[in-house]
Amino acid sequence: MPRRTRALLLALLAACARAPEDSTVDAVEAVEASEARVVRTDRADLPVAELEPEQLTRFREGDGLFEAVYREVDGLGPAYIRASCSDCHREDGRGPGVVTRVVQTSPIGASLVQAGWSPASPLGDTERPYVTAGATIPLLFPDGPEIRRTQRLPPAVFGRGLLEAIADAEIERLARAAADRDGPVRGRIARVRLPGASEELIGRFGLKAAAPTLTDFTARALHGDMGLTSPLYPEEAPNPEGLTDDAKPGVDVTLEDVELLADYVRMLALPTRTSARGEGARLFEEVGCATCHTPSLRTRPDYPLAAWADVDAFVYTDLLLHDMGDGLADGVREGDAGPREWRTAPLIGLRFLPAYLHDGRAPTIAAAIREHRGPGSEANDAVAAFDALGDEARRALIEFVSGL
């Protein structure tokens, strides 16, 4: 029993001992009200309400895996970033884990060769600062004029089932409209071919839309962040010592465990919206935010989770890649996305996020909007329109976005 609960119950017993009988109901109600405030109903880790019993069982099993801390014996490493999904997505939100990407800005130099990064044996572009399973050298790149470090905050995972459920035809419709549009705002689909697949899929997940499904997104995270191999990504991630296995021989995680984790994310509810439509929503459209942060997209009627099938998904994204210019460029080519391109971030549960943009550089919504401005950015006109609003109008727009 939580300490706060014990204290409240002791207070209740004391009140009952010294109060008339007819005051007991009021005391009980006070305890229940206090506990409601402690527990909070405003949460981002709840399942959708319409789950069947079998689905709820899978949700709970996936939740357990999401919270589990993987160890050496489970196949963690050899080099890794975090040992648990929840370490990067606490309460299914964003952080506290941070991923550091390294970009080569000039031809291979001595410091990179010394670190083991060469055309013949690339170590990738992601630092993995921790080691286990016999590894002794973490994957940390040295400082040098030929490399540049950029940070990424992990995305929140609540409401992501809706993104997977959006019909391909909806995204393709928006891409056609973007191609035909006059002006700087374009946008294009990220095309992804999974290992062993013959056809390309539409990328939806990750900051640069490199993953087309939640199953692939989950398997990538297990592999890249934790060094956990699966049937989808069976080879160990590159590491300075060239280790090809860990303390758990062979594949570390079963396909069923990958699917349980993916189903857990699929079934996470969309957090309750707190903003009214009103003036803020109108201004959101007027200044041009809705051009890329498309308020609503229709989902597939055949999506296997009934709660997300054939509904209007108010996710405020077009799921397209956009050129955000030099100011937000990280120099990383990932999947189909170039160094200046980012998938439009879905505006879901922003009140649960500690900071905004891919690296958390923006502490407020207003700062995030203004950081969209820069040389070559498709969003320059929208930022200018936002700045041209009066103080009251800007507050209304920010209040609307903050409650999404």
CA-closest candidate to residue 170, choices 44, 301, 28: 301
pLDDT in tens, 116-168: 554 443 788 899 999 999 999 999 888 877 778 889 998 899 999 999 999 99
pLDDT at 187: 96
- Alpha-carbon distance 84 to 70, whole Å? 6
pTM of the entire structure? Answer: 0.85
DSSP conformation letters of 41-85: S--SSPBPTT--HHHHHHHHHHHHHHH----GGGT--SEES-SSH
pLDDT of residue 32: 36
> Do 175 and 321 meet the contact criterion of CB atoms below 8 Å apart?
no
Q: Which amino acid, residue 180?
A: D
| CA–CA dist 120, 315 (Å, integer) | 43
- pLDDT (average), residues 203-231: 97
Write down the pLDDT at residue 19: 38
What confidence score (pLDDT) does residue 33 get?
37
Q: Report whether pLDDT(16) > 50.
A: no
Per DSSP, helices labelled H in 70-167 are 85-88, 110-114, 160-165
> Domain 160-189+268-402 maps to which CATH number in 1.10.760, 1.20.120, 1.20.58, 3.40.50?
1.10.760
Cα 4 to chain centroid, rounded: 32
Tell me, what's the pLDDT at 109? 59
- Separation of alpha carbons 65 and 63, rounded Å: 5
Q: Give residue 35's pLDDT band: very low, low, confident or very high (50, 70, 90).
A: very low
pLDDT band at 31 (very low <50, low <70, confident <90, very high): very low
264 CB burial (10 A radius; 0-12, 13-18, 19+): buried
Per-residue confidence (pLDDT) for residue 2, from 0 to 100: 43
Contact (Cβ atoms closer than 8 angstroms) between residue 238 and residue 244:
no
Of the candidates 44, 46, 87, 83, the one whose C-alpha atom is nearest the C-alpha of residue 353 is 44
Per DSSP (E only), the strands in 293-357 are 297-298, 312-313, 321-323, 341-343
As a whole number of angstroms, the longest Cα–Cα distance in the chain is: 83
Q: Give the pLDDT score at 130.
A: 97
Mean pLDDT of 300-325: 96
pLDDT in the model for residue 122: 72
Where along the chain do its domains lie?
3-39, 53-156+207-263, 160-189+268-402
What's the rounded mean pLDDT across residues 54-70?
97
Task: Please list the residues that pair with 104 across neighbouring strands.
Answer: 147
Determine the pLDDT at residue 114. Answer: 56
Which residues does 53 contact at the CB level (< 8 Å), separation at least 6?
Answer: none
Q: Average the pLDDT over each of 18-22, 120-124, 144-148, 185-189 and give the range with the smallest value.
A: 18-22
pLDDT at 380: 98
Q: What is the mean pLDDT of residues 165-193?
A: 96
Q: Would you state the pLDDT for residue 233?
A: 97
* pLDDT range class, residue 111, cuts 50, 70, 90: low
90-106 per-position pLDDT tens digit: 887 777 778 999 887 66
pLDDT digits (tens, 9 = 90+) for 259-272: 999 999 999 999 88
- d(C-alpha 181, C-alpha 172), whole Å: 14
Asked if residue 141 lies in contact with residue 103, where contact means CB atoms within 8 angstroms, the answer is no
The confidence score (pLDDT) of residue 252 equals: 98
Residues 135, 77: Cα–Cα separation, whole Å: 8
pLDDT tens-digit readout, 286-301: 999 999 999 999 999 9
Residue 113 clears pLDDT 90, i.e. is over it: no
Given a cut of 50, whether residue 318 has pLDDT beyond it is yes
When pLDDT is averaged across residues 352-373 and rounded to a whole number, the result is 95
Of 180, 187, 247, 260, nearest in space to 218 by CA: 260
Count of all residues that appear for the chain in the document = 404
User: Are 212 and 218 spatial neighbours (Cβ–Cβ below 8 Å)?
Assistant: no
